[in-house]
Amino acid sequence: MAEENKTLEIEQTRSGYMLTCKLKGWLDPNTSADLVSKLNLQDITMLIFDMTNVEYVFSSGIRTFLIFQKMLEPMGGCVKLVNVPENIRNILEYAGLEGMLDFKA
């Protein structure tokens, strides 16, 4: 059986200094690099990821969120994950990221 090709759809909405990204699909090594390349963070201090339709997050996806957080911190910015499904919230909690990332159900 051939392995299914997992994808990530990204819908971006910019409002002032805030960028909201609705994600759909898998955040894995391939799609994480795509996410980084598609976001323009110029003048952004609040980066919000709507995780409602994210099926799974690999360690590379977690690293991507932390990279974005590190990029925004010097400007007083932050990354927030909203509408995080329980299975993904469990992964983030197990990785010990409660104090590093703001994520909510």
User: pLDDT per residue over 48-91, tens digit each?
Assistant: 999 999 999 999 999 999 999 999 999 999 999 999 999 999 99
Contact 46, 32 (CB under 8 A): no
Cβ neighbours for 4, distance < 8 A, ≥ 6 positions apart: none
Distance between terminal CA atoms of the chain? 35
Residue 26 corresponds to which tokens in the numbers above? 């898998």
Q: Categorize the per-residue pLDDT at 1 as very low, low, confident or very high, splitting at 50, 70 and 90.
A: very low
Q: Categorize the per-residue pLDDT at 6 as very low, low, confident or very high, splitting at 50, 70 and 90.
A: confident
Q: What's the confidence (pLDDT) of residue 9?
A: 96
Domain 10-103 bears CATH identifier 3.30.450.20: no
Q: What's the confidence (pLDDT) of residue 2?
A: 43
Is this model's pTM higher than 0.75 or not? yes
Question: Burial, 15: exposed, middle or buried (Cβ in 10 Å; 0-12, 13-18, 19+)?
Answer: exposed
Q: Indicate the helix (H) or strand (E) that contains 37.
A: helix 29-38
Domain ranges of the chain: 10-103
Q: Categorize the per-residue pLDDT at 5 as very low, low, confident or very high, splitting at 50, 70 and 90.
A: low
CA angle, corner 88, sides to 86 and 92, nearest 5? Answer: 115
